[in-house]
Amino acid sequence: MNDQSNKPEHIAIIMDGNGRWAKNRNENRIKGHIKARKSVRESIEFCVEKKIKYLSLFAFSTENWSRPKIEVKALMNLLNSVIEEELNNLIDQNIKFLTIGNISELPQITRNSIEIAKEKTKENDGLNLILAINYSGKWDIINAVKTLYKSRKRKDLNNFNEKTFEKYLSTYNIPDPELIIRTSGEERISNFYLWQAAYSELYFTDILWPDFNKKELNNAIFEFEKRNRRFGKI
């Protein structure tokens, strides 16, 4: 990596291409999701090594419920087992586990695993690992509006601004991602961090997520460091 002062504080990854990876090998789509576990581990390890403060992983969108039931069930079971099996590693690496999204709609066993992981890592102050589960950018904004509407503060709209609204988003107290990576060759953010991505640098790679590794993540950061982020200024 180049100058450490120019590295992103928050990296977000849209993990795409598991199904295509499996199809290319005449395997069941679930095989792709299982293989992708290695890419998740390498990305986390890289961020810990490089002292990246926040890593968001788009694991399951609100739209993913429309996939075949057998695949959704397999994804939930895999998510549950990965959280349970990797918990000690998170603790050992001083990682705080966080989630964004509508967790209430997940299976009870998955919710239990999530809450245990959050509780056991809440005092950690290294990497903040943010798993977006049953999340979408539109859901986040609508949920924020609903919460705001229910609060008494809606009466004080004369002083309402972006900073006020951001307090109602699920990412409150989490900095916006400077770098959003999407694998598999698709060039869109697919209802991920809509509000938060206003000034994010986007990096697209043809690499399918199960083949993504530390080298690929380093390439993305190297590209990020070359960009001139002007935020609307000259």
Contacts of 89 (CB under 8 A, 6+ apart): 95
Q: What is the DSSP string of 22-84?
A: HHHTT--HHHHHHHHHHHHHHHHHHHHHTT-SEEEEEEEEGGGGGS-HHHHHHHHHHHHHHHH
Look at residue 70 and tell me if it is in a domain: yes
Exposure on the CB side of residue 74, measured as CA atoms within 13 A: 13
pLDDT single digits (tens) 162-200: 998 999 999 999 999 999 999 999 999 999 999 999 999
What is the three-class DSSP state of 166?
helix
Give me the CATH number covering residue 115. Answer: 3.40.1180.10
Look at residue 156 and tell me if it is in a domain: yes
pLDDT recorded at residue 234: 67
* E-strand stretches of the chain: 10-14, 54-61, 96-100, 128-135, 179-182, 201-204
Look at the pTM and tell me if it is higher than 0.75: yes
pLDDT recorded at residue 154: 60
Look at residue 232 and tell me if it is in a domain: no
Nearest to 172 by CA among 164, 180, 183: 164
pLDDT recorded at residue 3: 44
Number of structural domains, the chain? 1
d(CA 147, CA 163): 15
pLDDT recorded at residue 2: 42
Cβ count near 193 (within 10 Å): 25
d(CA 144, CA 139): 8
Look at residue 198 and tell me if it is in a domain: yes
Look at residue 195 and tell me if it is in a domain: yes
pLDDT single digits (tens) 42-69: 999 999 999 999 999 999 999 999 999 9
How many separate helices (H) and strands (E) can be counted in the chain? 7, 6
Look at residue 42 and tell me if it is in a domain: yes
pLDDT recorded at residue 233: 73
Structural domain of residue 222, as residue ranges?
Answer: 13-226
Exposed, middle or buried by CB within 10 Å (0-12, 13-18, 19+), for 76?
middle
Give the residue numbers annotated as catalytic, written as ranges: 16, 64
Contacts of 144 (CB under 8 A, 6+ apart): 165, 168, 169, 170
pLDDT confidence bin for 149, thresholds 50/70/90:
confident
